[in-house]
């Protein structure tokens, strides 16, 4: 899911970006009201997570102007505990829901699921469950299955698989995978992607004698929309 996060506090913005990308989402950041308005107006996002009191233009005004432009992207406002009147004002301008700081990330995921269930944006509709072939994932429980067999995945493997399952048939370059699954400390270290793809193949393909996660040489990786039977020679080789 493609998200816009509008947060002026850099540390908080970095945390939100990291946890949402670890959950398999694509995240763009803005830090002021006008910047948020421009990004939301000119790009398609599945949802906007917006700080209540953005510099130069608050969340309510951003939402009012977007709705006037017929931009109906669901908006989740992050607000302080004591600003009831401001929360009400925000909801009256078209903000879909709010979450009071401090909050648990499970609550953030739940509220995002709620606002995006109520509005499809650019052909996307939030679902906690995603599927490609007989690979299924549930983001809320962080569980995954191949058919009826549950997969034992680390949190990083789960985030990587979710990125692939939400983009079936799409070639994902190593740089894009790094951007979505790892934090900035890993940028430029593409071999970590290769290693984790190997780990993932050993869990989702090899035990089931199928091939679904494939290498596109010189480009990146792609998850096929449906698994194909693994040839006998393939099953005897490393799944790289």
Here the CATH number for the domain that contains residue 52 is 3.40.50.2300
Here the CATH number for the domain that contains residue 168 is 1.10.10.10
Judge if 8 and 75 occupy the same domain: yes
Helix axes 105-117, 10-22, angle to 10 degrees: 70
The DSSP string of 3-19 is EEEE-SSHHHHHHHHHH
Point out the domain boundary residue: 117, 144, 170. 117
Q: Is residue 71 included in any domain, yes or no?
A: yes
Q: Which residue has the tokens 């009201």?
A: 33
Q: What is the pLDDT of residue 56?
A: 93
Q: Is residue 11 included in any domain, yes or no?
A: yes
Judge if 175 and 223 occupy the same domain: yes
CA 153 to chain centre: 18
Q: Is residue 19 included in any domain, yes or no?
A: yes
Alpha helices in 33-165 (DSSP H): 33-42, 59-68, 84-93, 105-117, 155-165
Point out the domain boundary residue: 73, 88, 117. 117
Q: Is residue 6 included in any domain, yes or no?
A: yes
Q: What is the pLDDT of residue 175?
A: 81
Q: What is the pLDDT of residue 15?
A: 92
Q: What is the pLDDT of residue 142?
A: 76
Q: Is residue 88 included in any domain, yes or no?
A: yes
Point out the domain boundary residue: 66, 92, 117. 117
Judge if 133 and 42 occupy the same domain: no
> Which of these, 26, 227, 22, lies nearest to 124 by C-alpha position?
26
Q: What is the pLDDT of residue 140?
A: 64
Is residue 48 a contact partner of residue 6, using CB atoms and an 8 Å limit?
yes
Sort strands 220-229 and 172-173 into parallel, antiparallel or unpaired. antiparallel
Q: What is the pLDDT of residue 118?
A: 58
Name the region of 196 (left: φ>0; alpha: ψ -120 to 50; beta: rest).
alpha
Q: Count structural domains, the chain.
A: 2
Coil, strand or helix at 82: coil
Q: Is residue 122 included in any domain, yes or no?
A: no
Spatial neighbors of 226 by CB under 8 A, at least 6 apart, are 132, 133, 212
Q: What is the pLDDT of residue 223?
A: 96
Question: Average pLDDT by consecutive 10-residue portion of the chain (240 residues)?
Answer: 91 91 86 94 85 91 88 86 62 81 85 71 51 87 90 86 88 80 53 91 96 93 94 55
Is residue 66 a contact partner of residue 38, using CB atoms and an 8 Å limit?
no
For residues 60 and 88, give the distance between their C-alpha atoms in angstroms, rounded to a whole number. 10
For residues 112 and 184, give the distance between their C-alpha atoms in angstroms, rounded to a whole number. 24
Q: What is the pLDDT of residue 233?
A: 55
Q: What is the pLDDT of residue 130?
A: 83
Per the structure, the complete domain to which residue 19 belongs is given by 2-117
Q: Is residue 123 included in any domain, yes or no?
A: no
């Amino acid at each position: 899911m493609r998200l816009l996060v509008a947060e002026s506090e850099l540390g908080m913005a970095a945390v939100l970006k990291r946890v949402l990308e670890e959950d398999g989402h694509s995240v763009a950041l803005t830090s002021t009201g006008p910047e948020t308005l421009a990004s939301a107006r000119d790009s398609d996002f599945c949802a906007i997570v917006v700080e209540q009191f953005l510099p130069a233009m608050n969340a309510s005004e951003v939402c009012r102007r977007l709705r006037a432009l017929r931009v109906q992207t669901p908006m989740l406002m992050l607000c302080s505990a004591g600003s009831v009147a401001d929360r009400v004002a925000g909801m009256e301008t078209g903000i879909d829901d709010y979450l009071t700081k401090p909050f648990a990330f499970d609550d953030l995921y739940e509220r995002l699921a709620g606002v995006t269930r109520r509005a499809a944006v650019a052909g996307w509709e939030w679902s906690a469950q995603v599927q490609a072939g007989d690979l299924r994932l549930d983001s809320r429980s962080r569980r995954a299955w191949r058919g009826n067999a549950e997969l034992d995945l680390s949190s990083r493997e789960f985030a990587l698989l979710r990125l692939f399952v939400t983009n079936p048939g799409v070639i994902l370059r190593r740089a894009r995978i790094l951007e979505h699954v790892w934090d900035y400390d890993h940028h430029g270290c593409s071999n970590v992607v290769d290693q984790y793809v190997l780990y993932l193949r050993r869990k989702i393909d090899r035990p089931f004698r199928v091939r679904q996660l494939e290498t596109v040489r010189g480009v990146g990786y792609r998850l096929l929309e449906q698994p194909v039977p693994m040839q006998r020679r393939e099953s005897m080789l490393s799944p790289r």
